[in-house]
Amino acid sequence: MLDRRQFLFSSVAAFAQPKRRPNVLFIATDDMNNALGCYGHPVVKTPNLDRLAARGVRFDRAYCQFAFCSPSRSSVMTGLGPDTTKVYNLQKHFREAVPNVVTISQAFQKNGYFAARVGKIYHYGNPGDIGTNGLDDAPSWNHRVNPKGIDKAEEPKLTNHTPERKNPGSALAFYASPARDEEHTDGMVAAETIKLLEQNKDKPFFLAAGFFRPHCPFIAPKKYFDMYPAEKMEPVPLGASEMDIAPPWAYWTTPGNWNMTRRQTQEVLQAYYASISFVDANVGKLLDALDRLRLTENTIVVFWSDHGYGNGEHGQWMKQTVFEAATRMPLIFAAPMAKARGKGCPRTVELLDLYPTLADLCGLKDVPGNLHGKSLRPLLDNPGAKWDRPAVSQVSRAQKRMGYTIRTERHRYTDWGEAEELYDYKTDPKEIRNLAKDPKHAKLKAELKARLTAITTSRGRA
């Protein structure tokens, strides 16, 4: 038994030990929209993402900077908008334009953290580059793992409902696999991330787990397909003149729905939802590992997608538009030091905000002063706090045409140079009425355009 002096000494020693810095588990998913249970979707089952949201803050209006994989991911990791990184396609690396930029994981390394990634964080050709480093950035990591699962071998078995689109990475193609979860690339991403958690649980870490689904081709274990009978899937109706509402550059899927039949659309929805539930199951394994290793109370978990995904809204599929479905994506923060738990945040935020938020929460020093986002910490404490920052997204078209859009809590204004769009989500949540030519909204349009121009100019727009 300790005597009084020993007790006091041990108590003082314990008190004097420096508080351990928080860890970060940075979970990325590919092409996921907001079809999640915690976002109120009536069909899709995501119990693990729901329990993550119950531990933190679910951002209901979170938007990407560019509805395309590499531009978006480059922006997230550098904290800089696409007009600064100059990444508008899937080939250019951001260090060609900003060679000395300090990425988010580099900032953690500079502060003594172990930084590693498993799977897709920077751009990979999906599925072509699975198992390789893809368009990665070596200085960003102390360690890299590139899993390659049975789904690669199963690609010849795909059913493709858009046969003119032969690349499986840009086709609405799917396969219900008989293989176990652990044999698939995303199952391996979860397993390898858990190994790194086990190996580095006693040091501060920034671990990035990048899942490849629900990006097409939609390959997932059959049990997830069975959760969503195709005949019960309800396609989004396409009005006869709906693709005439906006200028032609606004649309990427032409003709609408790529002329799929109702049954084909139902099967694609089944496969997409199955892929989401497969990702959810793997996220659950990561959360279970944090609990088992007693890391939960000192680990910030952030879950994000690189952009949204069209499931037939306006006849559009996938990404590469600046409509709501493609620019809005799930963003969930569970930060032990934050005050809010199980709350939804109605404020408009951007993926650019991830870098400054994590730097703020972890108390990083020597963080670049030119980041384009803002720390979300006030919203993690009070999701309803005053916040007057719109989200800005963009997408490129041929002939060097760029479409820029600004999203506030109520409106979206889009500038195509020669044409415009304006939507009021309070009265028109499905973006059916383009108000850009309505004289009654001229003042609002001018205000939003000026605000959009000021923001994009500050972020490198020529």
Q: pLDDT tens for residues 218-256?
A: 999 999 999 999 999 999 999 999 999 999 999 999 999
Neighbour-count burial of 238, counting CB atoms closer than 10 A to its CB (0-12 exposed, 13-18 middle, 19+ buried): middle
Of 144, 148, 120, 145, the C-alpha closest to 134 is 120
Share of the chain above pLDDT 90, in %: 95
Q: How far apart are CA 63 and CA 49, in angstroms?
A: 18
Torsions phi, psi of 217, nearest 5?
-70, 145
Q: What is the pLDDT of residue 460?
A: 97
Sorted by sequence, the CB contacts under 8 Å of residue 376 that are 6+ apart come out as: 59, 333, 349, 353, 357
| Per-residue pLDDT tens over the stretch 198-215 | 999 999 999 999 999 999
Check whether 296 has a pLDDT greater than 60. Answer: yes
The stretch 85-108 carries a mean pLDDT of 98
Between 20 and 451, the higher pLDDT residue: 451
Average pLDDT over residues 272-295: 98
SS3 330: coil
What mean pLDDT do residues 141-154 have? 98
Q: Which residues of 365-384 are buried (b: 16+ CB within 10 A; e: fewer)?
A: eebbeebbbbbbbebbeebe
Q: What is the mean pLDDT of the chain?
A: 95
CATH of domain 21-387: 3.40.720.10
Instruction: Report the C-alpha gap between 184 and 311 in whole angstroms.
Output: 24
Predicted confidence band at 399 (pLDDT cuts at 50, 70, 90)? Answer: confident
Closest CA to 319 of 6, 1, 68, 90: 68
In the predicted model, is pLDDT for residue 10 greater than 50? Answer: no
Residue with tokens 């030091």: 337
pLDDT at 35: 98
Indicate if the pLDDT at residue 272 is higher than 70: yes
Beta bridge partners of 116: 143, 207
What is the value of pTM for the model shown?
0.95
CA distances from 179 to 24, 53, 182 (A): 31, 30, 8
Average pLDDT, integer, range 357-380: 98
Q: Do 124 and 87 meet the contact criterion of CB atoms below 8 Å apart?
A: no
What long-range pairs does 395-404 form, CB within 8 A, spacing at least 24?
395/66, 395/67, 395/68, 395/320, 395/321, 395/322, 395/326, 396/68, 396/88, 396/89, 397/249, 401/249, 402/88, 403/249, 403/250, 403/322, 404/322, 404/452, 404/456, 404/461
Give the pLDDT band of residue 18 (cuts 50, 70, 90): low
- CA-nearest of 330, 331, 332, 336 to 300 is 336
Instruction: Single out the residue of 188, 191, 198, 126 nearest to residue 155, CA to CA.
Output: 126
What is the pLDDT averaged over residues 365-383?
98
Token pair 């990404």 is found at: 319
Residue 7, pLDDT > 50, answer no
pLDDT in tens, 330-352: 999 999 999 999 999 999 999 99
Sign (positive or negative) of CA dihedral 193, 198, 199, 205 = positive
- pLDDT the model gives residue 13: 40
Q: In 185-265, where do the E strands start and end?
A: 205-210, 218-221
